[in-house]
Amino acid sequence: MECGFARERIERRIDRELTSAENAELDVHLSECPTCLREMGILSLPGRIARVSPPPAASPFFLQKVRLRIEEEARTAASWQFIFGTARKVVPALAGVTLALLSVFAYLQMSVTESEFYRLYERAFVSHYQPHRALLFEQERITHETVLSAIAEREAAVVR
C-alpha cells in the first residue's frame, strides 16, 4: 500500500469509517512504515486527550445569560418581522396609489386644449412686452419660420 493511500485510510480509521478488511490492510502498512505510524499517532492524539480529560463545566450563569440573550433577540426579531410584514402589505398599496396619481397627472397634462398649448409655447419663446406677440396670435399655425422670426425680432430688440 502506498503512503498517500494509507494517509486517507488513517483519517477514515480515526473517524471509525473503515471496514475490518481495510483495518487489517492499514495495520500491515503501519507495521512496515514508521512515517505513517507517527502520523497516525499525531492525528489520533486530540481524540485520546478528549477521552481522558473531563468535559469542561459551564459557568452556573452561562445558561441564564444564553436564555436572556435568546429572549432579547427573539423580541428584536419579532419587531423586525412586524415591520417587514407591514411593509410587504403597505409598499404595494403605496405603489398603486403612486401609479394612479401619476396617471391622473399625465392625463391632466395631456388634456391641455390647443389654444392653451399655443399660449404655453408662446410664453416659452416670446416675451409679453414684444410687439410681435400679435404676429403669433394672427397665425393659424405656429411654424418653424414664425418661431425663428419671433426669436430674431426678440434678439434684435435686446441688442438695441
User: Could you tell me the three cell numbers for 91?
Assistant: 409598499
* 36/13 Cα distance (integer angstroms): 13
Q: Using N-to-C axis directions, what is the helix angle for 34-52 and 3-14, rounded to 10°? A: 10
Residue 143 is classified by DSSP as -
Instruction: At 31, list the grid cell.
Output: 507495521
Task: Give pLDDT tens digits for 31-53.
Answer: 998 998 999 899 889 888 888 88
Question: What is the H or E stretch that residue 102 is in?
Answer: helix 62-110
pLDDT of 140 reads 58
CA dist., res. 130 & res. 61, Å (int): 89
Predicted local confidence at residue 148, as pLDDT: 76
Rounded to whole angstroms, the Cα distance separating 141 from 69 reads 77
- List pLDDT tens digits, range 101-116: 999 988 887 776 666 6
Give the domain ranges of the chain. Answer: 3-52, 59-104, 114-159
pLDDT of residue 132: 52
The DSSP symbol for 141 reads S
User: Among 121, 36, 32, which Cα is nearest to 13's?
Assistant: 36
Average pLDDT over residues 19-28: 90
Question: Of all residues in the chain, what percent are helix, strand and coil, respectively (each to 5)?
Answer: 80, 0, 20
% of the chain residues with pLDDT over 90? 10
d(CA 32, CA 23): 14
pLDDT in tens, 56-95: 787 878 888 888 999 888 888 877 778 778 888 888 889 9
Q: What is the pLDDT of residue 124?
A: 57
Work out the number of other CB atoms within 10 angstroms of the CB of residue 10. Answer: 23
